[in-house]
Structure 1
Amino acid sequence: MADNLQLNLPKRPRIGECLWCDRSDWKNILQQFALPDEDKIALAHFAEKGYLLIKNGIPRDIADAAISEYEALIEKNAILRDLSTKDGRLPNVHKYTTTGKQVFTRASEALRFQDILFGYRSSVYTSLYFKYGTQQSIHRDVPVFRTQPENFYFGVWYGLEDATVENGALRAIPGGHRVSSVDQFALAARHTNDADSIHPSQSPMWTIYQTAVAEQCKSQGLEEISIEMEKGDVLIWHPLLPHGGGKIISEGQTRQSIVYHVVPEGCPVYQMDVFFNRTKQDVPDLATWKYDLFEDRLFAAR
């Protein structure tokens, strides 16, 4: 690994760009790609539904090794063990395990689709290791992953074990990423006296925004579904897709996975203090952090 690379990365999204799959003419754009029909069908599903499931995307030996290395890590490191137990997740597991990084770099089909969807090379911003289901309420990630330009972010779930209704599979509202009538600036104006006071990662605006999104999805007749996955599957979701963790029916049953939060190389990520503040929209479109290089992919050194 080459540590702390400082890169200019000229091939990155610039202000004014948007994901091709979010454009009104995305179908015409897709037809111009020199890709097999099955790839075009998969990409069309992402554009219409907001997610893409890749079967057998992770080599099974890598998935097994990632679990073993995680368990060995928290066994010997009390601080990380306490953090994982307290929050139900271990942030940035890729910083501590080789196989954690290989889950990302060796899932070649998932990387290929990320690159196609972005139109740029995908890189790692952060990661989370989950041993158990999150049981999170339905939400969009975008308030705490506000890229410049907007929406150049994906959540990517790498299944190390089966994810079922019993152990808390992902829940999502297909098509919910296309509900665009929620104005976060208007919400902030109604619910805060000073948008400049909104905290980057902890604000009541999170719940207010997610509630408004859920109401809009319901008003348009969109329904929540469960997305079950088998060990080795990979799921990519749009930054505006409403999703969460299903209720765990079989208590104590694990659902081990790594979720990578990915952006194009050099693309910066901002949080709620920018997302909800109309006056802060003119932010730089180049990340300020340095990178680590592993198996030809960049990982933010944060």
Structure 2
Amino acid sequence: MFFGKTSVGVEWSQPGRAHGLLRATLMRPAQGVEAIDLLVDGKAHPVDLSALPAGAATLPVNIHTMLLGDGRHTLELVVRSAQGRQSTGAHDFELANPGALAARVRASLAGRGVPLAYAGPCDAGRYDYDDASLRPWFDREDADAHVQALLDAGRIDAGEAEALRGFVRDGYLLLPGGLDDALVDRALEAMQKAVDEGYQGYRYGDSTRLEQMHNVFPAIRELWLQPRILRMLGLLFDEPAQPCQSLGYVFGSQQDAHQDTIHLTPFPAGYMCGVWMALEDVQPGSGELVVYPGSHRLPRVRMHDSGCAKVEGPDWSGFGATVVRRWGELLEAGGFQPMPYLAKRGSVLIWHENLMHAGSVRRDPSLSRRSVVTHHFARGSLAFYDSTGLAGITHDTGAAA
């Protein structure tokens, strides 16, 4: 039996510079895993294997970088199995988790005894979501006083104050002023180019979304990093907003009523918002967005609470039978009524991560509903996908709140 140290390939979710959750993905040894060590600047830390599923071909290791000091660190993973020891080799990272929220998250992780690193899927059950001290201001009883303090200090104007109060009350707000018309024109041109080129295999008429267009089309990236949107998100988070993804829609999504909480999961709760940007006037029957005002105060549905297994691959039937059904029960029990959002071109809707929303049925399939959706996390929060167990990747914009 060979007990020497051989190399193993690794893919890092944030190569070079990292914050929040850093994921390393390795190939799993054929003989099984006995132990994994994370070496930080040469010092070994055991990786928690309690949630590692049997039989998976890959070996994901999630690292809470907040539990390490900011600055340059050398990281290496060593996997021990019956085949011997396999190492990823040493990789240098610049870790950056500044700000008050990151400090509170760091204290929560340490106080709960959350491990520095663990193998397997990300799961909300690892974190202390019951800690009231971690709640964002808009989920607290003194939220109106917070808005008034911002107004009195001259940090916001009357229109922004009204929008923030609406967010507290309803779970969403309309960004005062919306988008510049010229930017909307450029975004429409980019979307048409994506359609013409069959971006990601898209076929005209489908409800399929176009993912991560900001990586290919500069106009969509402008939307992704729109300063006025980042400013409003910064006011909500009390931290700079870090974009995570972009989704483009030519037609309505027809998606069931849902909370984003389980798909784009922040820790602490509340530190993620969705942004919906209309590129054209939305017509009735086009599969318009529907929101449920006030539903952001409903209990959050998470995978470990619902008894639903992590989703792997394209089969979401188990998720639908448990989680989606639970969402419907919550809406019915609370008596929440859907409100169609007939957006005007250039309007921007920002919603709470727990707000129930849906894509209505496309009663007239010929009607388009061109729009771009982005999701942003607060700097200092952890970002992951509770539904699939994947780690999220957020991007540091350098914006100030």
- TM-score surpassing 0.5? yes
In structure 2, the residue matched to 1:30 is 147
- Residue deviations 1:275-294 (CA, integer Å, cap 9, x gap): 8xxxxxxxxxxx8858476x
Letter in 1 for 2:145: N
In structure 1, the residue matched to 2:98 is 10
CA distance in 1, matches of 2:359, 2:262: 18
User: Does the 8 Å CA contact 1:176/1:242 hold for their aligned counterparts?
Assistant: yes
Larger proportion of helix: 1
Q: Is 2:354 the partner of 1:233?
A: no
> Per chain length, whose mean CA-contact separation is higher, i.e. which structure has more relative contact order (CA < 8 Å, sep 6+)?
1
Indicate how the Cα distance of structure 1 residues 112 and 291 shifts in structure 2: closer, same or farther if over 3 A, else same. closer
Letter in 2 for 1:30: V
Indicate how the Cα distance of structure 1 residues 244 and 268 shifts in structure 2: closer, same or farther if over 3 A, else same. same
User: Does the 8 Å CA contact 1:69/1:99 hold for their aligned counterparts?
Assistant: yes
Letter in 1 for 2:97: L
Letter in 1 for 2:185: D
Alpha-carbon offset, residue 154 of structure 1: 0.8
- Residue deviations 1:100-124 (CA, integer Å, cap 9, x gap): 0112333x43222111011111121
Alpha-carbon offset, residue 55 of structure 1: 5.1
User: Does the 8 Å CA contact 2:224/2:246 hold for their aligned counterparts?
Assistant: no
Decide which of 226, 238, 262 is 1:143's aligned counterpart: 262
Larger proportion of strand: 2
Letter in 1 for 2:187: A
Identity %: 23
CA distance in 2, matches of 1:84, 1:125: 26
Q: Is 2:380 the partner of 1:260?
A: no
Indicate how the Cα distance of structure 1 residues 177 and 111 shifts in structure 2: closer, same or farther if over 3 A, else same. same
SS of aligned partner of 1:32: helix
Alpha-carbon offset, residue 198 of structure 1: 2.4
User: Does the 8 Å CA contact 2:187/2:220 hold for their aligned counterparts?
Assistant: yes
CA distance in 1, matches of 2:330, 2:382: 29
In structure 2, the residue matched to 1:96 is 216
CA distance in 1, matches of 2:242, 2:331: 30
Alpha-carbon offset, residue 185 of structure 1: 3.9
Provide the TM-score with structure 2 as the length reference: 0.61
In structure 1, the residue matched to 2:326 is 212
Number of residue pairs matched by the alignment: 275
In structure 2, the residue matched to 1:127 is 246
CA distance in 2, matches of 1:60, 1:116: 24
Letter in 1 for 2:298: V
Larger radius of gyration: 2
Q: Which runs of 5+ in 2 are unaligned?
A: 1-13, 19-95, 106-130
- Residue deviations 1:199-237 (CA, integer Å, cap 9, x gap): 367652355223223322322222111111100000001
In structure 1, the residue matched to 2:164 is 43
Alpha-carbon offset, residue 81 of structure 1: 3.7
Q: Which runs of 5+ in 1 are unaligned?
A: 276-286
Indicate how the Cα distance of structure 1 residues 263 and 200 shifts in structure 2: closer, same or farther if over 3 A, else same. farther
Indicate how the Cα distance of structure 1 residues 244 and 58 shifts in structure 2: closer, same or farther if over 3 A, else same. same
Letter in 2 for 1:46: F
User: Does the 8 Å CA contact 1:105/1:297 hold for their aligned counterparts?
Assistant: no
SS of aligned partner of 1:212: helix
Indicate how the Cα distance of structure 1 residues 164 and 85 shifts in structure 2: closer, same or farther if over 3 A, else same. closer
Q: Alignment RMSD, CA only?
A: 3.1
